[in-house]
Amino acid sequence: MSTATTPSAPLIEKHTIGYVPPEDRHGKVRDLFTLWFGGNIAPLPIVTGALGVQLFQLNLVWGIVAILVGHLVGGVLMALHSAQGPQMGIPQMIQSRAQFGSLGALLVVLIAGIMYIGFFASNIVLAGKSLHGVVDSVPVPVGIVIGALGSGIIGIIGYRFIHVLNRIGTWVLGIGIVLGFGYILTHIQTADFLTRGNFNISGWLATVSLAALWQIAFAPYVSDYSRYLPEDVPVAATFWTTYLGSALGSSLSFIFGAVAVLATPVGMDTMDAVKLATGSIGPLMLVLFLLSVISHNALNLYGAVLSLITLVQTFAYRWIPTAKSRAVLSVIVLAACCFAAVGASADFIGHFVDMVLVLLVVLVPWTAINLIDFYAIHKGQYDIDSIFQVDGGIYGRYNPQALLAYAIGIAVQIPFMNTPLYVGPISAHINGADLSWVVGLLVTSPLYWWLANRDTAYRRRLSTGKLASSL
């Protein structure tokens, strides 16, 4: 198996959404561990993890159990998507054309792009506030622009640089969060650290769902960061390195948020609690988290731009996007997000998080369809040429079976939803627990498999061997 880094691999990425040929493949499978471990040691998962004890009133033990269950379950789906990258050699979203058709995939690509932009905008606000907290003389709007420019440079340079930074970040942030845990646990400032909160089934399920959805949110772009690996990298190796890195890094951050909140007086903002709980090393922790936000946010910008290129290329199919195209679109997205973030209200992040929670409802059935199609139906064999044809080639413009399963997968989740914008009747009946993602997966997966196998024309294409990769 050849996984050594190619000496000639350029630092500035030249590919965009096109197929990565064997001669341009590079990297080592272990890079996936450092990418997803280092990328998840950050303020946003820390704030999210604290909700288990802050909002859902769990105690420390049951909060940790819920966090681990959610990440271990959700991480399976996320890592299965990652394992597609070396086999396909193309970004995750454009691969969706093989399931939904060239035009049928547009809705999913658009939703994913909006989600990336929402995460990017939210994180530059968080970076601006963090920088202001570290250096009082830097106003929040200036901090927002600085954070966005830092992420923009990383995103424009691209794939290899993102991996390099996260290899460094894994060691720096990993050591930092271990030191943070050590300081907090030896300087607990509350008498009810172990007794605050209790077990309640709705809060436990809600915390499990938060953790699982955190992992599922990566699904639309996780294989973007494995697609340059040599195609002979075993699926199992790609899966396990991604799974362990993401589940471990996310769990540590979620638990860190819960521990920091319980170690400080009730009612404190999570990041203020982190600063107080970490005492003399608090400023160092904030600097590390600031650098993490800037580095990890590059992934959101990178994913947003690849989604935009996919949308445009669907109609301008003769267009061959280059590194310059990616850079120009990155600057446009960055400038628009800065403009929106600087002039936004104080609850800007809250609004975007609300939107992302709703978008996840429509991404869960996509996850089910994509995984069933890749692993159970096509078994990793696709006609790459057809994916880039304007008429979808053998996949067509629309795949009625996928679109029907997708629509039903969304509809069945509605009664089980619990988002700030809508609470379903079943969720309200079980004290607000959001089980929509579980229902969406359990219904969509077998439904799509059944519909796809009933389609006789589709089965004929399979039997003629036309679905084998042409590259």
CB 317 within 8 A of CB 140: no
Structure tokens at 172: 């720096």
> Within a domain: residue 270?
yes
Any domain includes 14: no
Residue 449: helix, strand or coil by DSSP? helix
Query: What is the pTM (predicted TM-score) of this model?
Result: 0.89
Q: What does the alpha-carbon distance between residue 138 and residue 466 come to, in Å, rounded to a whole number?
A: 59
| Cα separation, 70 vs 87, whole angstroms | 28
The CATH number covering residue 281 comes to 1.10.4160.10
Residue spans of beta strands (DSSP E) within 289-432: 418-419, 422-423
In a domain, residue 154? The reply is yes
How many Å apart are CA 89 and CA 97, to the nearest integer?
Answer: 14
Q: What is the mean pLDDT of residues 216-231?
A: 91
18 within domain boundaries: no
pLDDT band at 253 (very low <50, low <70, confident <90, very high): very high
Is 471 inside a domain boundary? no
Q: 46: how many CB neighbours lie within 10 A of its CB? A: 29
Range list of H helices, 83-200: 84-88, 92-95, 97-100, 106-134, 140-157, 159-186
Domain-located, residue 171:
yes
- The verdict on residue 9 lying in a domain is no
Instruction: Give me the number of domains the chain comprises.
Output: 1
Q: At what angle do helices 43-54 and 282-315 cross, to 10 degrees?
A: 110
The confidence band for 206, taking pLDDT boundaries of 50, 70 and 90, is confident
What does the alpha-carbon distance between residue 113 and residue 308 come to, in Å, rounded to a whole number? 7
CB 82 within 8 A of CB 226: yes
| Distance, C-alpha 465 to centroid of its chain | 34
Q: Which domain covers residue 193, as residue numbers? A: 28-463
DSSP H or E stretch at residue 318 = none
**Residue 3: pLDDT band with limits 50, 70, 90:** very low
- The CA distance from 145 to 219, in Å, is 28
Alpha carbon distance 368, 361 (integer Å):
12
Least-confidence region, from 4-8, 309-313, 444-448: 4-8
What's the pLDDT at 26?
Answer: 87
Token reading at 464:
């003629």
Mean pLDDT for the stretch of residues 244-272: 93
Q: How does DSSP assign 141-167, residue by residue? A: HHHHHHHHHHHHHHHHH-HHHHHHHHH
**Sole residue written with tokens 């959805």:** 213
In a domain, 23, yes or no: no
Q: How confident is the model at residue 458 (pLDDT cuts 50, 70, 90)?
A: low
Size (the chain), residues: 471
